Homo-oligomer: A and B are copies of this chain.
Amino acid sequence: MLELAILGLLEGQELHGYEIRKRLRDDLGIFSNVSFGSLYPALNRLERSGAVVAVVEPDAGSTTPVPMTGSLSGERAALRARRATSNRGRRARKVYRITPEGKALFAELLDSERDADDARSFGLRLALARYLPPSARVRLLERRRASLVERLEQARLAATGRDRLDPYARSLVEHTTEVTEREISWLDRLLDAERAPGVTARTVAIADTEGEHR
């Protein structure tokens, strides 16, 4: 799921790890602050598998790369010197770019049914739904809807002996049910917009606004 989210961000633009973490939180809302201990290894995996390429930040000051001399102190001095001139301030950043293989992997992950009927997974996929073909978009929404409807039915069956539940548990069940019903009607609205009879009106409006992200 993390790799899917990363690839989704990189579909839009090149980013470095630290920035990806912020976007994961702010744009995809999904991982409220992923830990670095999970982010950086994920980026390295994606790089090794060829899904992304890492470019050490382009050096604005045209400094020649520091060669490996084997002399630690020498290299440190060179790094300090480089920073003092061109690369003022921060530590070197690795900027990641998605490759064609990465795009293929992304498309595959996005359309797969891994972690279906998991709220986080659905939220992530919906946030990236603009990259899905319309048919897959409808499938995603319908899959989620079906899983929610089934959950409601299960809850109704189990509710036969709902009187035995104490007020707290009962209140929780009621609230959960309400939230689920609301999500279903929200999905219905999205589905309506998605397959409106004749590819007109709302659909076109959506397609238009969608133009923004190119």
Q: Which residues of A contact B (CB under 8 A)?
A: 26-29, 32, 123, 126-130, 151, 155, 158, 164-169, 171-173, 175-176, 178-179, 182-183, 186, 190, 206, 209-210, 212-213
- With A130-B166, A179-B179 given, is the CB distance from A171 to B158 under 8 Å? no
- Residue numbers in B under 8 Å from A173 (CB-CB): 29
Q: Across the two chains, which residue of chain B brings its CB closest to A213? A: B166
Complex Cα gap A50–B209 (Å) = 61
Chain A interface, >50% SS class: helix
What is the CB-to-nearest-CB distance from A121 to chain B, in angstroms, rounded to a whole number? Answer: 13
Complex Cα gap A188–B58 (Å) = 53
- Residue numbers in B under 8 Å from A186 (CB-CB): 171, 175
Of the candidates B169, B176, B206, B212, the one whose C-beta lies within 8 Å of that of A27 is B169
What is the CB-to-nearest-CB distance from A8 to chain B, in angstroms, rounded to a whole number? Answer: 10
- With A168-B126, A172-B126, A173-B29 given, is the CB distance from A182 to B179 under 8 Å? yes
